[in-house]
Structure 1
């Protein structure tokens, strides 16, 4: 697998991890004595999702920029 496929796979697994942490957090916070720090648990996978998502968002634009640059050079 090349780098882009790895990033896509990591992004998918992070999405699953984020969903699980949100469910666990919801269950933990509806308890009679909620543990408030649990509400911060989903932030790590969410931050990682942000970075991988931005990378995946920029990929098609970067390919266009590269093809324009190569065309301008005459390659």
Structure 2
């Protein structure tokens, strides 16, 4: 599940980065030098860059924390395998 989620979250993050990187400078330029009619039209779409930035922050946080998540899962798996191995050794002595 983690590999599937990682693969698609990376793709999603990359594809969202493009419109975000384009819309933010456009929004700033429109607000700074746009005529009143353009600014009024942009006010209807003003929330789009903010929503895209929020999505980028959430997916970026997941991608940033992913190595730590995988490391924790790996440690848990190794610990459970070691516990199983020691339980088998106690059940079946080596000398028998």
TM-score clears 0.5: yes
Normalising by structure 1, we get a TM-score of 0.81
- Give the whole-Å Cα distance in 2 for the aligned partners of 1:3 and 1:66: 15
Question: Which structure has greater helix proportion?
Answer: 2
The partner residue of 2:64 within 47, 57, 66 is 57
Q: In the alignment, what sits opposite 1:31?
A: 34
Structure 1: stretches of 5+ with no match in the other structure: none
Normalising by structure 2, we get a TM-score of 0.66
Structure 2: stretches of 5+ with no match in the other structure: 83-96
Q: In the alignment, what sits opposite 1:14?
A: 16
Q: How many residues align?
A: 75
